């Protein structure tokens, strides 16, 4: 039987430690990585985190295997501690292997990341999303277009307008499950950021700008909304945990009730537009 060389032993250590660790991590850790599976976009981000975690652990195991072996196999035993080791003048095979391996790894991750970003991944894509066609895996049938919801930020509350439901505005964020939603995020005053961690949605809210993000909720649940951009005195209070994802029938009922409840103010709202900037004449400053 041929004795295995140093490289083979390190490789064997790496393979064995990976074979033990990676399945354990895949079973017990990665299902709990954020942001969860509340939406198509959140699930996509979770997959990204899973892939990056697995690759990071795999590389870390390789490094640990290498250093563990080297520190054990090449430790100084009987020689004079004062003596320096022989000079190392390069090793073409190791250098090529290193360059090829790291380049391939970086290119693969770049390709994976680019592919994952094609649909916006729950982030704001500006007023004219380049990759709109890739957004979500439930783009809806021709008779079921994405539900438009305008997210209006102001110091210090988000409100939401539903143009396809009569154009009413609500202080509560309610979405139907299993339907793609097209969020138009804007601001009335300073820069805010609309963040729904459980849905994997985060989009900057800029005054006078329309920042579009897509999300397809996959689970009926309560949601928390945060502002993720320092926006003034009560930024820390720009938080709402009354948002929720409901069934399509519950959403229809809610929209009907809300449309009636706020009907007295809806006619005062400006005609629906993707930005929401009032006349400067009505500013005190």
Q: Residue 275 contacts by C-beta under 8 Å, 6 or more apart in sequence?
A: 186, 208, 209, 210
CA dihedral 248, 249, 252, 253 (to 10 degrees): -140
**Cα 11 vs. chain centroid, distance in angstroms?**
34
Closest to another protein by CB, 41 vs 169, is 169
Q: Which helix (H) or strand (E) holds 16?
A: helix 6-28
Within positions 55 to 94, which residues make up the interface with another protein, using CB under 8 A?
A: none
151 and 186 Cβ atoms separated by less than 8 Å = yes
Closest to another protein by CB, 77 vs 271, is 271
The reply on whether position 271 binds another protein by CB under 8 A is no
Interaction mask 211-250, another protein, x per CB under 8 A: ---------------------xxx--x--x----------
Contact with another protein (CB under 8 A): which of 5, 142, 143, 285?
285
Q: How many CB atoms lie within 10 A of CB 174?
A: 19
The candidate with the shortest Cα–Cα distance to 158, out of 240, 268, 244, is 240
Closest to another protein by CB, 21 vs 155, is 155
Q: How far is the CB of 201 from another protein (least distance, A)?
A: 20
Within positions 126 to 185, which residues make up the interface with another protein, using CB under 8 A?
A: 152, 154-157, 159, 169, 171
| Interface residue list for another protein (CB under 8 A) | 152, 154-157, 159, 169, 171, 188-190, 232-234, 237, 240, 262, 264-265, 268-270, 276, 278, 281-285
């Amino acid at each position: 039987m041929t004795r295995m060389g140093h490289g083979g032993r390190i490789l064997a250590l790496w393979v064995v430690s990976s074979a033990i660790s990676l399945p354990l991590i895949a079973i017990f850790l990665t299902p709990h990585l954020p942001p969860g599976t509340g939406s198509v976009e959140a699930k996509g981000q979770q997959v990204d985190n899973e892939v990056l975690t697995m690759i990071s652990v795999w590389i870390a195991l390789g490094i640990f295997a290498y250093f563990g072996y080297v520190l054990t196999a090449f430790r100084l035993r009987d020689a004079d501690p004062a003596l320096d080791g022989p000079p190392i003048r390069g090793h073409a095979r190791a250098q090529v292997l290193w360059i090829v391996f790291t380049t391939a790894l970086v290119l693969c991750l770049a390709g994976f990341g680019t592919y994952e970003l094609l649909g916006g991944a729950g982030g704001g894509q500006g007023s004219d999303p380049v990759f709109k066609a890739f957004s979500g895996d439930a783009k809806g049938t021709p008779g079921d277009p994405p539900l438009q919801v305008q997210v209006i930020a102001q110091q210090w509350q988000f409100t939401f307008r539903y143009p396809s439901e009569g154009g009413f505005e609500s202080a509560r964020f309610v979405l139907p499950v299993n339907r793609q939603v097209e969020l138009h995020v804007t601001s009335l005053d300073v820069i805010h950021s609309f963040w729904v961690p459980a849905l994997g949605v985060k989009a900057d809210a800029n005054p006078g700008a329309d920042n579009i993000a897509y999300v397809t909720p996959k689970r009926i649940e309560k949601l928390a909304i945060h502002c993720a951009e320092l926006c003034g005195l009560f930024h820390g209070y720009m938080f709402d945990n009354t948002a929720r994802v409901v069934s399509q029938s519950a959403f229809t009922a809610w929209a009907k009730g809300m449309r009636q409840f706020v009907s007295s103010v809806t006619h005062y709202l400006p005609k629906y537009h993707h930005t929401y900037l009032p006349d400067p004449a009505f500013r005190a400053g």
